[in-house]
Structure 1
Amino acid sequence: VAASSPTGPAFEGAEISGGQRAAPGAIERVRIDPDTLEPKYRVIGSELWSDEPGFLESVQATGVTGICGSGIIEVVAEMYLAGIISEDGVIDGGLSARSPRVTANGRTFSYVLKDGSAALTEDGPKITITQTDVRAIQLAKAALYAGTKLLMEKQNTEHVDRIHFAGAFGSFIDPKYAMVLGLIPDCDLDKVSAVGNAAGAGARMALLNRGYRREIEDTVSKIEKIETALEPKFQEHLVYAMALPN
């Protein structure tokens, strides 16, 4: 069985206030101290964390310009683990008395991941995770999880033995944070892995080996495509999957 879930562009940095594509200068890894709520992060183009000596020098050429897909997944998951957001995805405004990282934004609250004043230059961008950002990620991850649940139901199974992330983006997702966020169903972490450019590898196999080509054609003929939009239970799964982790 196969399905396509309507996740939208949130995991690619679109619809996110500080989002950008995965390029030098983008935050790709995030950790938040559950006691102080202070963050540290890693940027594409540097091997150092933001709290390590030499970090500023290592990102001098690129700066810290935004947050990409893998960073968005990690920051929302870390905010949940640190208690900054609830199971419903609401940023706890009461924490503003405890940390200046939690700030009012109209009638909602935001989490300041990188303060502009701490940037390499005076006009460096301030990067915040807003309530709207969290909602966009909730919708995207809920759609993916709901699609997976539909496939599991079609196979009459409640447990997944193995998960493979394909594609460039899949190669950079940390399985732990994908599970904390509820992006994927529960599975042994050592059974979750990235397979890289699976489509490209499959195309090469089909071009170079007639046996593989016949095997692919035979497999494709047996796959049942599930149209998520037409499935009555998709909306139900989607609503339930909005919660963190799911």
Structure 2
Amino acid sequence: GELVLGNRHKLISSSCATGPALEGAQLSFGMRAAPGAIERIDIEPVTFEVNYKVIGRDAWRKFSEPHEMKAKGICGSGILDVLAELYSSGVITKTGAFNKKPLKDHPRFRKNADTGQSEFILAFKEESSIDKDIVITQKDIRQIQLAKGALYAGCKLMFKRMGIKKADRVKIAGAFGTHVDRTKALTMGLFPDCEIEKIEGIGNAAGDGCRAALLNVKKRMEANWCSRNVEYIELTVEPAFEREFMEAMQLPHMTDQFPHLKGIVPPEILHQGMKDAR
């Protein structure tokens, strides 16, 4: 993932190895954004019941008959939703591990007899078009944590390079940014705490920038200035990267505070383990 941080006086950029997990690759039921892909998910605390929406159907699961859903897998926006919802509902802990005590004997939680992995059922077989349950496994969760940890660590190191503690605005470019649920992105700790209203998807920023530079001389001059003056930093050689990365693997973070999640994530979940971590 590419990162740019700046103000009126300075721009710095970098990239971090998030891998393809946030796009659905390397996950048990990950897929591209196509009909049948789960794109939105809600999980009820306590009961752990799952409500979801698939691409190509307007009605959510709770307003539909099982056979009407025809779910096939999970796409990028659904992947962010599922990690945020698993965490905020208490299905998984801050570390990303399944919270086995409240899940004991729950019909959605099981250990796969073939792989030995713990997994949580998002859509039962009768709701899918692939004749099997659609699940999220412990390994899948770890893959998503690795991706989000790299992104968050990159943000933190760039903040330190700029001498700031937080961003005033967060803009997410590309198709991914267009469809992301900003509250759930913050809940999973995709980036440091920020006012939710200041998080914005801006669509195809690269394409829009190219068009502006082609059609407007002033914008072309601005683009030339940016290309000459932006400072690139290599995050993986930064001495603090490994520590920042490990801390960012937890949800939403090992020690960083997220005051803007107050009222969104239950306090007993949001603050679990914080005292010990400090």
State the TM-score, normalizing by the size of structure 1. Answer: 0.93
The match for 2:121 is 112
Is the contact between residue 72 and residue 128 of structure 2 (CA under 8 Å) also seen in structure 1? no
Q: 1:131-170 residue pairs with structure 2 within 5 A? A: 131-170=138-177
In 2, Cα distance between equivalents of 1:3 and 1:53: 45
Q: Is the 8 A contact 2:120 2:135 kept in 1?
A: yes
For residue 236 of structure 1, what is the aligned residue in structure 2? 243
Q: Distance in 1 between matches of 2:64 and 2:235?
A: 49
1:5 aligned to which of 13, 16, 31: 16
Determine the structure 2 residue equivalent to 1:74. 81
Helix, strand or coil for the counterpart of 2:149? helix
Match runs of 1:97-246 below 5 Å? 97-105=104-112, 108-116=117-125, 118-119=126-127, 124-246=131-253
Letter of the aligned partner of 1:27 in structure 2?
Answer: I
3-state DSSP of counterpart to 1:111: strand
Q: Give the TM-score of the pair, scaled to structure 2.
A: 0.83
Cα deviation for residue 188 of structure 1 reads 0.4
Report the Cα distance in structure 1 between the residues aligned to 2:23 and 2:101, rounded to whole angstroms. Answer: 31
> How far 1:108 moved relative to its partner?
4.4
Structure 1: 5+ residue stretches without partners: none
What letter corresponds to residue 119 of structure 2 in structure 1? S
* Secondary structure in structure 2 of the residue aligned to 1:243: coil
CA-CA distance at 1:233 after TM superposition: 1.2
Change (3 A) 1:164 1:120: closer
Task: Output one character per residue of 1:148-191: Cα deviation in whole Å (capped at 9) or x when no partner.
Answer: 11111111111110000100011111111111101011100111
Percent of residue pairs identical: 43
Deviation of 1:141 after TM superposition, in Å, equals 0.1
Q: Does structure 1 retain, via aligned residues, the 8 Å contact 2:169–2:198?
A: yes
RMSD (Å) for aligned C-alpha atoms: 1.5
Name stretches of at least 5 consecutive residues in structure 2 with no aligned partner: 1-11, 254-278
- Provide the rounded CA distance (Å) in 1 between the counterparts of 2:64 and 2:135: 24
Matched residue SS, 1:51: helix
Pair 1:51 & 2:58 matched: no
SS in 1 for 2:25: coil
Could you tell me whether the CA contact under 8 Å between 2:93 and 2:99 is conserved in 1? yes
| 1:179-223 CA distance string (max 9 Å, x none) | 110101110011111111000000001111111101111122121
Instruction: Look up the SS of the partner of 1:186 in the other structure.
Output: coil
Q: d(CA) in 1 for partners of 2:228 and 2:222? A: 10
Do the aligned residues in 1 keep the contact of 2:128 with 2:134 (CA within 8 Å)? Answer: no
Q: Which consecutive segments of 4 or more residues in structure 1 shift more than 6 A?
A: none
Report the Cα distance in structure 1 between the residues aligned to 2:66 and 2:172, rounded to whole angstroms: 30
Shift of residue 13, structure 1, vs aligned partner: 0.6
Q: How many pairs does the alignment contain?
A: 240
Q: Report what 1:39 is aligned to.
A: 50
Quote the Cα distance in structure 1 between the aligned partners of 2:27 and 2:83. 12
The letter for the 2-side match of 1:187 is C
